Amino acid sequence: MDHQQLVKLSKRMSKALRHDPARVGLTLDAGGWVPVDQFLTAMGITRTDLDEVVAGNDKQRYAVRTGPGGVERIRANQGHSVPVDLGLTPQEPPEVLFHGTGAAALPSIQATGLNRGGRHHVHLSPDTATARRVGTRRGGAVAVLTVLAGQMARAGHVFYVSGNGVWLTDEVPPEFIRL
């Protein structure tokens, strides 16, 4: 597959594993896993295609692991809108984390903080370059916010880190955001 085909297939896989498994006839288990053989059939792809997307993925969006009974399974590392329990354990965050977004969203973010929207968590990046890449997806001017994660943790907010290094938390109130 060329790069464009890889991205296209990865988006289709994300849709099935994060947002709409029923549309392709799949049911995720409580942890978000689905057997690889079922997934290949549902997507109409080969194991080679799957391995190419999983291994070549710029953000390590997928995990393939052997589960109970030696059955190989796949899940998305993060980003779900369907209810799944990723089984993540709370982690102590670094003192600051970053969030990349569109500049147009700033007034609203300053008023209400960062909300998780349709996803399970607010997604935060460990460095500004990653945050900038996330914000660039929105088109238009990018804003990179600094989140006072250490202060948040000391105030009782819980943080998780996904299998691919994305920091997750329920919400970021405006007082913990610096422009």
Is residue 75 near ligand HQG by the rule CB under 6 A? no
Q: Which two tokens stand for residue 105?
A: 């969203």
> Residue from 28, 50, 123, 160 that binds ligand HQG (CB under 6 A)?
123
Query: Pick from 119, 128, 132, 150: which binds ligand HQG (CB under 6 A)?
Result: 119
If one asks whether residue 12 binds ligand HQG (CB under 6 A), the answer comes out as: no
Give the residue from 65, 56, 47 showing the smallest Cα distance to 10.
56
For 155-165, b/e burial (b = at least 16 CB within 10 A) is eebebbbbbbe
CB of 108 to ligand HQG, least distance (A): 3
Comparison of 42 and 142: residue with beta carbon closer to ligand HQG: 142
Q: Does 110 bind ligand HQG (CB under 6 A)?
A: no
Provide the β-strand partners of residue 65: 73
Site string for ligand HQG, 15-54 (x = CB under 6 A): ----------------------------------------
Q: Is residue 134 within the footprint of ligand HQG (CB under 6 A)?
A: yes
Composition of the chain by helix, strand, coil, percent to 5: 40, 20, 40
Regarding beta strands 142-147 and 167-169, do their DSSP bridges make them parallel or antiparallel, or are they unpaired?
A: unpaired
Question: In sequence order, which ranges of the chain are alpha helices (DSSP H)?
Answer: 3-14, 36-43, 47-56, 106-112, 128-136, 149-154
Which residues in this chain contact ligand HQG in the complex, by CB under 6 A? Answer: 59, 61, 79, 101-102, 105, 108-109, 112, 114-115, 117, 119, 123, 134, 138, 166
